[in-house]
Amino acid sequence: YEPGFSFKRHKDNQRKIGIILPLNDDYSNTPLEFLDNEFNLMESCSYSTPIAFDAQSIHQVAPIKTQRWQMQISLYEPFNTYIRNNRLVK
């Protein structure tokens, strides 16, 4: 993703869990943000190591400041099942 690209608030279509592996930098300057149903910011997640998140929660990323390379893995099992069965989860 090039500077200026943003991910507007959304829930992923069918994906239940997103696993993001940052490949080029730490993403603390444009964190993943989680919103409530009224689109109020609930939590912000900066990361430089792989993370897993509930892709069915409303999330967004503000316009990024630097080029971002990442690999994403999509899972389709419920997030609560995943966190119960795996130790390293954000």
pLDDT score of 77: 85
Residue 4 pLDDT > 80, yes or no? Answer: yes
pTM over 0.85: no
Per-residue pLDDT averaged across 32-40, rounded?
Answer: 96
* 18-28 per-position pLDDT tens digit: 999 999 877 77
Residue 80 host element (H or E) = helix 79-85
Residues 6 or more apart whose CB falls under 8 angstroms from that of 17 comprise: 52, 53, 54, 55, 74, 75, 76, 77, 79, 82
Q: What percent of the chain has pLDDT over 90?
A: 58
The pLDDT value recorded for residue 87 is: 61
